[in-house]
Every structure is written in C-alpha cells, then in structure tokens.
Amino acid sequence: MESLVNDNSFLNYKDKKVFVTGHTGFKGAWLINWLYLLGANIKGYALEPKDEKGLFSIIAPKIEFENIIADIRDKKKLQKEILNFTPDFIFHLAAQALVRESYEIPSETFEINAIGTANVLEAVNMLNNKCTVIVVTTDKVYENKEIDYHYKETDELGGYDPYSASKAATEIVVSSFRYSFFNLKKHQEHQKVIASVRAGNVIGGGDWSKDRLIPDIVRSLKASEPVNVRNPLSVRPWQHVLEPLSGYLLLGLLLNKEPYTFSGAYNFGPLPNDHLPVNELVNLALEYWGNGSWNDTSDPSQPHEAGLLKLDITKAKSVLNWLPKLTSKDAVEWTIEWYKQHENDIFNYTIQQIKTYQLK
C-alpha cells in the first residue's frame, strides 16, 4: 500500500506512538486509518463497535494496530494500557456522542464524557515521558443563544441537553488539568501539553449511528423509503470527517513542537458562509444518490435540539493556518459516494478519499 508519509505537513507521525481512545467509532476509525497511512504506531482503546457495518469493522482486518476493547470508565485498565504504551501523542475521542441518547442516559453521559476524560488525563499525569494530548469535545459546548452568531473559543460554555452540558463539563476538566498538572510554566519539568478541539457536525462514510442525519438518510434510501427529517430548518456547521481530523493532526504536531504557542481550545468547522440548513443537506444527499424523497416529521414534544449553531474558525485559520478544503456540498457528495460503493471496494475507496483529501 502506498504511503502518505511524504506529505511534509504530517511527516512527523511516522514511527510515533499514538494512543487513540474511541478508535472503534466513526471518527476514530477514520483517524487510525489515516495514522496507519502516515506510518504511526497505533494503540486503540474503546468499546466494541456498535455496528458491524461501520468503518472500523471494515478497516480493522486490513491495518496494523493494537486493539484494546475496554471501557474508558475503567480507570485501572486505562492507566495500565497508557502507561505500558508510553505514547508520544494521545487523541481522546471516546464519548457518548448522541444528543437524543443523552436524554435516556443522562448520568452515564456525564460519567463517560467528563469523568472518562479525567481518567485519561490522570493517566497522562502518571507518564514519565513527553506526551501531547488532543481532547475532542464538540461544537455544542457553547451556551447556545439560538441567534445568528458564530461562536468562538472564548465564548461562554453551557449546554441545554445532557450531551452538550457533559461536553462543556469536559472542557472544564481539560482546563483544570491544564492549569493544575500540565501548567505551561512548568512544562520543562512535566513535558505534557494539552489542547481541546470543538468540531462541527461531522459527516462521512462509515457512520451508522442512530439518530444521525446521514445514516438515517442512507438507511431510508437503501430501503427505498422516504427519509424522515425531524428539524428541516435547523442550521448546522456540516463538514466532512477528514476536515476536523486534519485539524487535530496538524494541531498535534504544532502543539508537540511549540507547546507555549498552541495550547488551548480550537474550533474546526466550515467557512462562515457555508453553514447549511438540514433540508438543503437532505436535498443534496438525494441528488447525489440519484433518487428519493423526504418527509418532515418534526414533533413539538420531541427532546430539545439546537435550531441554529455556527462556529467561528478564525483562531484555527490565524494560529494554525488551517482552513477547510471541502465545501459543505463537497462533504455531502464525498459522503454519499462512499455509501454507494460496493462492500468489497469500501476499504480501498476510504484510502482513496484520504489520499485525495491530503493532496488537495
């Protein structure tokens, strides 16, 4: 398999030890696939994948990595795996990541997202080696006032639903560890540095999670049924999964090299004029699929979900020199094309999309 390590921007991941939590999930599977192509030594820690059709189940037999199936809440197990591996980098993606599910299991959502993150960072504090940590939260950490405003990293944290609130709590956990244990004033002593990343609504091939728009669309189209759409006028910062992952990878390298400059929180999302309403995304998906229809199934009694959310990516642009390479329209096209591939072609097509994206 052709390597991508000749791309200078990510060259330094070659032979580095990278610990990824949540690697069996949608974003995590894309990340370990990309890291494998970059020549990294990967160890993943996560629960079993929820869906056998997901991306992880497709790529796992075809790439080299250490696969630890365990719960992020098992502190002793997590510490053992991190300390034995002595990672150069940690990307913490493990989470309860669904808004609607957080209404069903609120306390568990807080436990996984906030306490799980504290478990990871406590283990990092026990390491004797230099380590760079990227903690993935969400665009929903902000106190959303439902106004036409692009939230920036210094805005107030909050959360209406348990998922959003748990991720805001995660940001507070990160901030606490940054000051208490990984203080930059003593970086030469502890050699640990941490950043949090807040991505928009991520889409891409291999996601089969319930109550997510793209998986719901694809399931309905494959069954030749109309797509049920809950909130067609809601506006979101849609982006292809490779966009935020490129930001995480870039930030990891910059943070490792210059911790005093790059520690902090970063938004990764689309350009300011590229936030789509749900109905427009659905129509694009149907267009790229080639057929289909949708119904508005909005219900006033359904659990609250934000109707308007936009991200300000000025910091990522100015500090990291990062910008999205794909428009929201491109992201929908890339995603639908992935789902249209024959099962036997999906792994190679995933590799092709990573290569195409990186060479843009």
Cβ atoms of residues 146 and 308 within 8 Å: yes
User: Rounded CA gap, 260 and 254, in Å?
Assistant: 10
Indicate the pTM of the whole model.
0.94
CA atoms within 13 A on the CB side of 310: 16
- Distance, in Å, from the CA atom of 155 to the CA atom of 335, rounded to the nearest integer, reads 31
pLDDT computed for residue 234 by the predictor: 87
Determine the Cα–Cα distance for residues 97 and 136; give it in Å rounded to an integer.
11
3-state secondary structure 95-140: CCCCHHHHHHCHHHHHHHHHHHHHHHHHHHHHCCCCEEEEEECCHH
Domains defined for the chain, CATH in brackets: 11-202+238-272+309-327 (3.40.50.720)
Given a cut of 90, is residue 164 above it in pLDDT? yes
71 pLDDT higher than 60: yes
| Alpha-carbon torsion (236, 247, 141, 121), positive or negative | positive
Burial of 319 per CB tally in 10 Å (0-12, 13-18, 19+) = middle
| pLDDT tops 50 at residue 5 | no
Strand partners of residue 17: 41
Instruction: Give the pLDDT of residue 225.
Output: 94
Nearest Cα to Cα of residue 138 among 84, 107, 106, 174: 174
End-to-end CA distance of the chain: 20
What's the average model confidence in pLDDT over 217-235? 91
pLDDT at 29: 98
C-alpha to C-alpha distance for 332 and 322, rounded to whole angstroms: 21
**Helix boundaries (H) for 146-277:** 162-180, 187-190, 213-222, 242-257, 259-262
Mean pLDDT of the 282-304 span: 85
C-beta of residue 53 within 8 angstroms of C-beta of residue 79: no
Which residue has better confidence, 3 or 254? Answer: 254
Dihedral sign of CA atoms 16, 18, 24, 27 in order: negative
Yes or no: say if 74 and 186 are a contact pair by the CB < 8 Å rule.
Answer: no
- Is the pLDDT at 1 greater than 60? The verdict is no
- Vertex 346: Cα angle to 344 and 348 (nearest 5): 95
Residues counted in the chain: 360
8 A C-beta contact, residue 37 and residue 4 = yes
For 17-46, what is each residue's pLDDT tens digit?
Answer: 999 999 999 999 999 999 999 999 999 999
Burial 266-278 (b: 16+ CB within 10 A, else e): bbbbbeeebbbbb
- Chain mean pLDDT for the chain: 93
Q: Is the pLDDT of residue 237 over 70?
A: yes
* For range 312-322, the mean pLDDT: 95
